[in-house]
Amino acid sequence: MKPTEGRRRVVIEGIQPAVDAGRYPAKRVLGDTVEVTAAIFADGHDHIAVRLLYRHSSERGWHTSSFAALNNDLWSAKFTVDKLGTWNFSIEAWIDHFDTWLHDLAKRLSAQTESTPQDIPMALRIGANLITAAAARAKGSDAKSLKLAAEHLLSLANANLPQYSSPVTEELVSLVTLYPDLSLTTRFPVDLPLWVDRERARFSTWYELFPRSASSTPGKHGTFRDVEAKVPEIAAMGFDVLYLPPVHPIGRAYRKGRNNAVAAEPGDVGSPWAIGAAEGGHTDLLPELGTFDDFADLVRAARSHRMEVALDIAFQCSPDHPWVKSHPEWFVHRPDGTIQYAENPPKKYQDIYPLNFESSDWRGLWDALYNVFEFWIDHGVRIFRVDNPHTKALPFWEWCIAEVQKDTPDAIFLAEAFTRPHVMYSLAKAGFTQSYTYFTWRTDKPGLQEYFEEICAPPVSDFFRPNVWPNTPDILHEQLQTGGRAMFMQRVILAATLSANYGIYGPAYELCEGRPAPPAPGREGSEEYLDSEKYQIRDWSQPPTESIAPLLTRLNQIRRANPSLQRNENLVFHPCDNPQILCYSKATAGHRDAILVAVNLDPRNAQAGMIDLVLDKLGLPWTGSFEVEDLLTGTSYTWKDQRSYVALDPAVMPAHIFRIVQ
């Protein structure tokens, strides 16, 4: 089929950033300078002109920015995003006949001799025609100036001089450029979307605790007031997000007992994820935790310490949830008429009913779930950790998150989805701000390096922001069960320095809790905690010498003081001849705060090796001496040239975090 205008000769392709050719928005953070690159070319030798169009969704008109040619038909332009929410950008390109003529004239002038005059008068007449056309597109004094310039070129052409110098000034070039001929412009057919978040989307430090275990009195059910009392201590460790598991009424039917016992004993508190009881559902509070006034005070207290409260949103219901009676059509019914409870064989969750996203009333279900977010936003919450989003319909998330962020663009959504890569990535594309990762199960040097090189670089990094957790209430990896204190130190150092977003489930982590529950029948091991807080109140009192809280505090101080650790796209791995030592660096533009990390992955034995530093990534010359300072210990070393020696004893400290002293 013939195009509607076959004279548009410029081709635009390979635009970045673009997620699935513009199906989903790429992600950036407020204040970022967005670099747009593309392959832009045409047939023949004519020059082309290119400009970037960009605007925030609240604006009607387009801003423009000029492209610069790189090499091999690649072009680059930049713009800065200064508002939260949706932006769009596109590219226009056209044959630049004036610039082509200018280049041709320069060659003719440099080649002119008495014997080869190069027909410069004719070239000047062509230029006069181009400038006259520009004058017709201009107005006011610009139009007058362009007409005079065209007349000047014609007069020079008519003079038929034996030798010519260039009659074109920089001022004339700038003036003609203001009035291009856009009649045959190629416009990229898609306005590519970009979503802009606030800074906490890129850099955050999470601390998870169960409010019911926050009481200072052993065995007593904790409250929001008890959590509020712990806020100064948690903030002092450097955490800026206080994440609470579900705070709603807990069902009584089929309530789980301690250590996931099928039958609860009197006094057992049940799982917070079995949401809903006579007291209400997802927009109500467990009475034992306190009132909405207490919750509001906790939110305010967190803000006063530069922290935010994040809530767990788990879209599932206990058999006692009000929705079970008022909206039975939102659940899957078995042939015997009973509602299907959740299962992940051999695990059974009789205390939880999944929602049915193929319900005939799916619109009503979507609206109800959206209203849950809106309810908690009205109560001061802007950060949500979403439980198992991969078990809910992907189109729902794309709609729901977009609807929430229309009015609340600073809302942040963390996807707790340990599932297949395509599903994890699809959730991120659908709008989730941050995502849990496979970090927990990447335990050796090749696995860690390969995985982080994948998620910290385009195209994945354009839509997927990792939030790295060494433990969660659901996951106690075998390494933490057997590696002792050194392993807890190693894994949190990796998490805090490989990723700009990380979190811990505490106080289990700082107290190095590594006791696993017995494995389920037919399984060799367990990643469940013994005496898990998911099913009971825990007393976390321990001697202070057992805690690694001082290390957590120092790590978070280092992260806050060094902007290079607050990003992911600057991650670079450096070879080391010891397979047990992982070495990597991060540096900001200009390498003003280059950080080099070396981690001993062996929790039991001292390891040493030679690192082959990629010195230009650290802002250093390839030869010469330089100083490094270990930010964990304060010790300084003088290194020389590319190869440097490190030795790490996990019984003392399993890692170096070096600041390159410039």
d(CA 195, CA 411): 12
288 is an active site residue? no
Q: Which fold has domain 572-661?
A: Immunoglobulin-like (2.60.40)
Distance separating alpha carbons of residues 582 and 443, to the nearest angstrom: 11
pTM, whole model, 2 decimals? Answer: 0.94
- HEC states along 196-212? EECHHHCCEEEEECCHH
Using CB atoms within 10 Å of the CB of residue 533, give its burial: 0 to 12 exposed, 13 to 18 middle, 19+ buried.
buried
CB of 253 closer than 8 Å to CB of 320: yes
> What is the fold, at CATH topology level, of the domain defined by 11-96+185-196?
Immunoglobulin-like (2.60.40)
| Confidence at residue 545, expressed as pLDDT on a 0 to 100 scale | 67
Burial 75-87 (b: 16+ CB within 10 A, else e): bebbbebeebbbb
Which residue matches tokens 């041709």?
A: 104
- C-alpha–C-alpha distance, residues 250 and 269, integer Å: 8
Coil/strand/helix, residue 135: helix
- How many Å apart are CA 128 and CA 148, to the nearest integer? 10
What integer pLDDT is reported at residue 607 of this predicted model? Answer: 98
Q: Of the listed 240, 320, 416, 593, which one is catalytic?
A: 416
Closest CA to 215 of 203, 225, 202, 205: 225
Answer for the pair 595, 562: CB distance below 8 angstroms, yes or no: yes
- Specify whether the CB–CB gap between 265 and 257 falls below 8 A: yes
Name residue 510's beta-bridge partners.
none
Give the homologous superfamily in CATH for domain 200-470: Glycosidases (3.20.20.80)
As a whole number of angstroms, the distance between CA 439 and CA 648 comes to 22
So where are the chain's domains?
A: 11-96+185-196, 98-177, 200-470, 572-661
Report strand pairing: 412-416 vs 434-435. parallel
Distances (CA, A) of 157 to 107, 131, 296, 552: 17, 14, 80, 77
At 40 the three-state DSSP class reads strand
Computed from CA positions of residues 457, 459, 464, 470, in that sequence, does the dihedral angle turn out positive or negative? negative
| Token pair in block for residue 296 | 């509001």
pLDDT of the residue at 1 = 73
* DSSP run (H or E) holding 367: helix 362-378
387 is catalytic: yes
What is the model's pLDDT at position 347?
73
Instruction: Collect the ranges in the chain with pLDDT lower than 70.
Output: 114-117, 544-545
Q: How far apart are CA 71 and CA 499, in angstroms?
A: 33
Which residues are 187's β-sheet partners?
92
| Main-chain dihedrals φ then ψ at residue 452, nearest 5 degrees | -75, -30
10 Å CB burial of residue 497 (0-12, 13-18, 19+) is: buried
Give the pLDDT of residue 115: 65
pLDDT for position 117: 65
11-96+185-196 and 572-661 agree in CATH topology: yes
* Residue 315 and residue 330 in contact, taking contact as beta carbons nearer than 8 Å: no
Q: How many residues does the chain have?
A: 662
Token duo for residue 379: 């109560």
Token couple for 107: 């060659």
- Check residue 16 and give its pLDDT: 97
Which residues are 89's β-sheet partners?
54, 192
Q: What is the pLDDT of residue 521?
A: 76
Exposed, middle or buried: residue 38 (CB in 10 Å: 0-12, 13-18, 19+)?
A: buried
What is the separation of C-alpha 482 from the centre of its chain, rounded to a whole number of angstroms? Answer: 32
- Comparing CA positions, the residue from 397, 381, 400, 401 lying closest to residue 389 is 397
Catalytic residue among 228, 387, 462, 527: 387
Give the tokens for residue 373: 């977010």
